[in-house]
């Protein structure tokens, strides 16, 4: 397969302010916030720029990342930010929107301040999957977003800090 290069442009970045986490949008796209205030959650697509290196992009298999998981996993079977393209997506609750200043307030995000944001999409309930299955090693993980905050995630990873 021929390698094709694409151009992505940051539309803003993740920041931390006195109001909490925010996505500060560039002036060129801040008008795209129009109508988003009626949604409770959004999907934020971001670039894991701190792990964007040739070495990290070439990690395709990892040794036992999960305590209850198999000895090896392909990177596509993980949520690791080490990927062929370090693109990440997080569903987050919206806390406020300031259209004039291009600010999207969010409750939290698993991205560092300064992380480039590539896109924002509203979360629709129809995106839930009623019937799905996962491997047994992660079948005890929370089924709902709201339950994940209280789950002991550190206890799931081999190299948890």
**What does the pLDDT look like over 25-44, one tens digit per residue?**
999 999 999 999 999 999 99
Q: In this structure, what token pair is assigned to residue 96?
A: 């406020």
Indicate which CATH number applies to the domain containing 82.
2.40.30.70
Whether 154 is covered by a domain: the verdict is: no
pTM of the model: 0.90
Residue 52 has pLDDT above 60, yes or no: yes
Q: Quote the mean pLDDT of the chain.
A: 94
- Alpha-carbon torsion (119, 121, 123, 127), positive or negative: negative
Domains: count for the chain: 1
Q: In this structure, what token pair is assigned to residue 17?
A: 């302010």
Residue 161 has pLDDT above 80, yes or no: no
- pLDDT tens for each residue of 104-152: 999 999 999 999 999 999 999 898 888 999 999 999 999 998 898 899 9
Residue 159 has pLDDT above 80, yes or no: no
Cβ density class 130-151: b for 16+ within 10 Å, e for less: eeeeeeeeeeeeeeeeeeeeee
Whether 4 is covered by a domain: the verdict is: no
Whether 61 is covered by a domain: the verdict is: yes
């Amino acid at each position: 397969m021929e390698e094709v290069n694409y151009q992505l442009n940051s539309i803003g970045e993740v920041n931390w302010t006195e109001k909490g986490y925010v996505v500060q949008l560039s002036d060129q796209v801040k008008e795209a916030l129009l109508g988003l205030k009626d949604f409770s959650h959004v999907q934020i697509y971001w670039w894991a720029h701190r792990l964007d290196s040739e070495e990290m992009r070439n990690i395709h298999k990892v040794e036992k990342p999960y305590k209850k998981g198999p000895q090896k996993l392909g990177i596509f079977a993980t949520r690791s930010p080490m990927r062929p393209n370090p693109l990440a997506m997080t569903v987050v609750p919206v806390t406020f929107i300031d259209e004039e200043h291009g600010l999207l307030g969010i409750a939290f995000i698993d991205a560092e301040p300064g992380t480039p944001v590539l896109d924002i999409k509203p979360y629709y309930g129809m995106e839930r999957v009623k019937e799905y299955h996962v491997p047994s090693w992660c079948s005890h993980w929370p089924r709902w977003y709201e339950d994940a905050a209280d789950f002991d995630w550190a206890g799931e990873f081999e190299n948890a800090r």
